[in-house]
Amino acid sequence: MTPCASIDAKIRKQVEQIETTPAIPAVFLPLLKLLNAPPEQVRLEEVVKLVSYDNTIAVQCLRVASSPLFGLPKSPESIRGAVISLGLRRVETILLTCCLGQVLPAKGLSLDPTVFWRHSLGCAMVCRKFSEKLPGADGEKAYMAGLMHDVGFLVNGLAFDKPFARAIEHAVKEQIPLVEAESATMGFTHCETGRALAEKWRLGEDIIEVIAHHHAIEQSEKAQPLVALVHLSDLLCRMRGLGYGYYERQKVDLAHDPAWAVLQKKYRDLEGVDLERFTFELDEAVANIYELVSTIFGSNAGGSTPGQN
Amino acid sequence: MTIAAQTAVAKPLPIKTGQPIDPTFRQIRDLVYKVSGIFQLEEKLYLLADGCGRRMKQLGVRTPREYCDLLSGHSSREAELRQLLNELTIGETCLFRSQPQLDALRKVILPELVQEKAKQVLKRLRIWSAGCSTGEEPYTLAMNMLEESEGLLKGWTVEILATDLNDRSVETAKTGIYGDYALRVTTDHFKRKYFSPVEGNKLEVRPEVRKLINFSRLNLQDTSKMLFMKGMDLIFCCNVLIYFDGPSKSKVVDHFFSNLNFGGYFFLGTSESLLKLNDKFHLVHFPGAIAYWKPSLKSGKL
């Protein structure tokens, strides 16, 4: 799926210009830097300071932290309290969730942000849940990878809106995966545009691999198990009402996907994963994800609410 | 054009507010899952609580804890679980019960089967509704197949076998007469096209639908009869296996596997699972639905 050099240059040029887009919270990039640092070097005070810097973000974070998805029994009353009871890593992912929620303008793009964030959050959550079943896997990193994997759709929406709108139209009409429609109509996909943005933002190497290769795990060299985990979680979300809001004529055989074999090589216990139960538990979380997305976007979210679609 | 949030799959239901659920019911949910493969979603836990409540009343058990102990006890477990499952699945059936299953069938599976079998001389599809109860499922399948008769299935013969253990259910199924409750999610399009009004404000399935179906009585545990059910492309067996104990269930599922053609599919109820009873089937996901697939020979994945 490597685009030719001229397309690559075009993507990079467009991504450079994204700088001026509104609403990237000031804490976002420093936060990403922090997330890339080894956990033992991250200081609690630094995180608290970053969050308190932006009042809107702080309020949102507290709301998000009290969602059942993050498993806190009682809504935290202060950022400090939240950091202590949730643990630093978990707070980082919550922060990232909030920040990213503000990157995309809520209206006027070919991509419905509500649908996009439901998918991204859903995938993040499935990645974390999935990695809980794999001994030694880093759940918070998996969450982050799931959250960011489709960031290329943001770039498409911001820098290639018209061709992307045609790709979406094609996908909906043919009921095919969006990535196939992108290839067919634009000649490049969110994997390339996402990679360009991720490199510009200097995201971690592993996350860049996920963004670039989650639709073609065999191309991943450095972080194949993580890429495989995101690939499978992405597929499962799209099969359980957390896709892009249209019917994909697809049959998905998770346990016989090449990504499954990659995970099995690293985590022997994979045989013990009860995929059916995992699926039913995801269904249970769908309502929470819908709620969390409307928490992040407020009433301006557009799109529909559960039960109305 | 915008991707509207028009998902036709897995719509989350509103969570029933009110009294918090006794955590014991989650434990009972896990017990039920472990034995039957039926998973009661969190938002439907109150249904489980209601069902348990009715059983507790009949048994004179006072607390959910006590009832949970009863369900965990070795001697009482099987019988009581069966009773509880009865409570949980009562009145569940209706026509068009699982739209995501039907979508998977028409949008993904049929095109695949038609393509795979295109080279065969006999263009025939065989579908088995195993445990058809009062006929809602086989009629739903028949109508959906008829919808494709001028398209995908042009020139194809469709045979639907509908069997149930219960004689009375089979007799009722044959009449093909349904009231509002059974038809509560059937669209006007299907009502107009495939039913005629009859006495008592009910609707009767038209002969062209009925013609596709063969009803008979069959015990899924009758090995000699099960061996005869050959050449199936699709088997539907919804909320039936939950009543079987582990070994019998495993035996029936093995039969289903050999009853199916290579490349065929086996569907359970929407929140039901096989609990790894058979490792030859592949679990496959479609939007909003899961099924078990007997890999085709050429896929080399057996």
List, for residues B75-106, the tens digit of each pLDDT value.
777 788 878 887 776 656 899 999 999 999 99
Whole-angstrom distance, CA of residue A140 vs CA of residue A149: 14
In the sheet where B282-286 sits, what is the strand order? B213-217, B157-164, B124-130, B232-236, B260-267, B289-293, B282-286
Amino acid code (one letter) for B253:
V
Q: Per residue in B259-301, pLDDT tens?
A: 999 999 999 998 899 988 888 999 999 999 999 999 988 765 4
pLDDT of residue A73: 65
Closest CA–CA distance from residue A54 to any residue of chain B (Å): 31
Could you tell me which residues come within 8 angstroms of residue A237 by beta carbon, excluding any fewer than 6 positions away?
Answer: A119, A122, A123, A126, A243, A282
> Tokens 């096989």 correspond to what residue?
B274
- For position A301, what pLDDT does the model report? 42
H helix or E strand, kind and range, residue B35:
helix B24-36
| B33 — pLDDT class (breaks 50, 70, 90) | confident
pLDDT at A299: 45
The CATH architecture annotation of domain B24-89 reads: Orthogonal Bundle (1.10)
Give the per-residue pLDDT at A58: 75
Nearest to B276 by CA among B296, B259, B295, B253: B253
Q: Are residues A165 and A91 in the same domain?
A: no
Class for the domain spanning B99-299: alpha beta
Last residue of a domain, one of A60, A85, A102: A102
Are A166 and A93 found together in one domain? no
Please give the radius of gyration of chain A, using alpha carbons only, rounded to the nearest integer. Answer: 18
| Chain A interface includes B119 (CB < 8 A) | no
**Nearest Cβ partner of B283 from A165, A275, A284?**
A275
- Whether residue A233 contacts residue A127, with contact meaning beta carbons closer than 8 Å, is answered with yes
Mutate to test the interface with B, among A251, A273, A286 (most CBs of B within 10 A): A251
Of A295-304, B157-166, B203-212, the least confident: A295-304
Instruction: Indicate whether A14 and A45 sit together in one domain.
Output: no
Give DSSP secondary structure letters for chain A: -PPPHHHHHHHHHHHHHGGG-TT--TTHHHHHHHHHS-GGG--HHHHHHHHHTSHHHHHHHHHHHTSGGGT-SS--SSHHHHHHHH-HHHHHHHHHHHHHHTTS-SSSSSS-HHHHHHHHHHHHHHHHHHHHTSTT--HHHHHHHHHHTTHHHHHHHHHSHHHHHHHHHHHHHHT--HHHHHHHHHSS-HHHHHHHHHHHTT--HHHHHHHHHTT-GGG-SS-HHHHHHHHHHHHHHHHTT-SSSS-----B-GGGSHHHHHHHHH-GGGGG--HHHHHHHHHHHHHHHHHHHHHHHGGGG-S--TT--
Residue A307 lies in a domain: no
pLDDT of residue B92: 66
Q: Is B287 on the interface with A (CB under 8 A)?
A: yes
Range of the domain at A280: 5-20+109-299
How close, in Å, is residue A294 to chain B by CA atoms? 13
The two beta strands, B157-164 and B124-130, are parallel
- Together in a domain, A70 and A113: no
- Mean pLDDT of all residues in B133-157: 96
CA distance A112 to B2: 6
Whether residue A286 contacts residue B146, with contact meaning beta carbons closer than 8 Å, is answered with no
Same domain, yes or no, for A68 and A89? yes
Domain coordinates of chain B in residue numbers?
Answer: 24-89, 99-299
The structure tokens listed for A194 are 């996402």
Interchain pair B39, A252: CB under 8 A: no
pLDDT at B3 over 50: no
Structure tokens at A206: 């592993």
Closest-CA distance, A299 to chain B, in angstroms, reads: 15
Q: What is the full per-residue pLDDT of chain A (309 aa) written as tens digits?
A: 455 778 888 888 888 776 544 445 667 777 767 766 676 777 777 777 777 777 777 777 777 777 777 766 666 677 777 777 777 777 777 777 777 766 665 566 778 888 888 999 899 999 999 999 998 898 888 988 999 999 999 889 888 989 999 999 999 999 999 999 999 999 999 999 999 988 887 788 999 999 999 999 999 988 899 999 999 999 999 999 999 999 999 999 999 999 999 999 999 878 888 999 999 999 988 888 888 888 776 544 444 333 333
Residue after which a domain boundary falls, among A78, A102, A126: A102
Alpha-carbon span A204 to A92, nearest angstrom = 14
Specify whether A152 is located in the same domain as A214: yes
- Residues in chain A with CB shorter than 8 Å from the CB of B274 are 276
Q: How far is CA A69 from CA A59, A80, A290, B30, in A?
A: 17, 20, 11, 20
For chains A and B, CB pairs below 8 A equal: 135
Pairwise CA distance, residues A139 & A124, whole Å: 10
* B194 contacts B206 by C-beta, under 8 angstroms: yes
A284 and A234 within one domain: yes
Q: Are residues A121 and A64 in the same domain?
A: no
Q: Using the beta-carbon criterion (under 8 Å), do B285 and A286 form an inter-chain contact?
A: no
Question: Could you say which of A102, A124, A143 is where a domain stops?
Answer: A102
> How many domains, chain A?
2
Q: Is residue A90 part of a domain?
A: yes
Same domain, A124 and A97: no
Kindly identify which residue of chain B lies nearest to residue A175, measuring between CA atoms.
Answer: B107
The answer, yes or no, to whether residue B247 has pLDDT greater than 80, is yes
User: Average of pLDDT values for B173-190?
Assistant: 96
In terms of domains, do A81 and A182 share one? no
Separation between Cα atoms, residue B28 and residue B49, nearest integer Å:
9
pLDDT tens by residue, B220-239: 999 999 999 999 999 999 98
d(CA A210, CA A226) in angstroms, rounded, equals 7
* A65 & A113 share domain: no
Q: What is the pLDDT of residue A102?
A: 67
Pair (A73, A98) in one structural domain: yes
Contacts of A122 in chain B (CB under 8 A): none
Averaged confidence pLDDT in chain B: 88
- What sign does the CA torsion over B45, B46, B47, B50 have? positive
Among chain B residues, the shortest Cα distance to A252 is held by: B285
- For range B28-50, the mean pLDDT: 84
For B56-72, what is each residue's pLDDT tens digit? 999 999 999 999 988 88
Cα(A92)–Cα(A47) distance, integer angstroms: 8
Is A309 within the bounds of a domain? no
In a domain, A232, yes or no: yes
pLDDT for residue A97: 76
Burial class (CB in 10 A: 0-12, 13-18, 19+), B82: middle
How large is the angle between the packed helices B77-89 and B45-59, nearest 10 degrees? 130
Out of B12, B273, B290, closest to residue A290 by CB? B12
CATH of the domain at A259: 1.10.3210.10
The answer to whether the Cβ–Cβ distance between A277 and B39 falls below 8 Å is yes
Strand partners, B292: B266, B283
Taking the C-alpha atoms of residue B7 and residue A115, their distance in angstroms, rounded to an integer, is 10
Check B10 against A286: CB less than 8 A apart.
Answer: yes
Q: DSSP label at B38?
A: B
